Amino acid sequence: MKTEQVINELKDLIENYSHSIPYEDDKSQTYQAIETNDVLKIIDKLEKFKTLESQKIKSQNWLIKNHNLICIREVERRLGMPDSTLSKVVNGNRGIPENWVEPVVGFIAEFNKGV
């Protein structure tokens, strides 16, 4: 996910969790507030995003470094992934799609156990 997408997602989260509160001295004007619990939810979502991005980068680097030890097509087949998804990662044409990060992380963990 690109920085712009992260910023937009954070803006959406803040907008969804914030609510208007009228000023005491002028009820016609309001300010936006976010409750502490909601701030914690936003922080949790940001931490999950950071973890996913970290896993994605580590997995991509592992695949690029170790692609000669595995059959990329076989990995794609085992994970039920469309053909050439990981080939494009290894060739540097794209990153791992977000919905495939966890399965790839799982595959790498299993592979490393057997090595």
* CA neighbor of 73 nearest in space, from 64, 65, 82, 62: 82
Residue 46 and residue 83: Cα distance in Å, rounded? 31
Q: What is the pLDDT of residue 76?
A: 96
Q: pTM score, two decimals?
A: 0.70
Of residues 42 and 89, the one with the higher pLDDT is: 89
Residue 33 and residue 5: Cα distance in Å, rounded? 23
pLDDT tens digits, residue range 21-74? Answer: 999 999 899 988 888 888 888 888 888 888 888 999 999 999 999 999 999 999
Q: Which residues contact 17 (CB under 8 A, 6 or more apart)?
A: 34, 35, 38, 39, 41, 42
Whether 115 has a pLDDT exceeding 70, the answer reads no
Residue 39 and residue 31: Cα distance in Å, rounded? 16
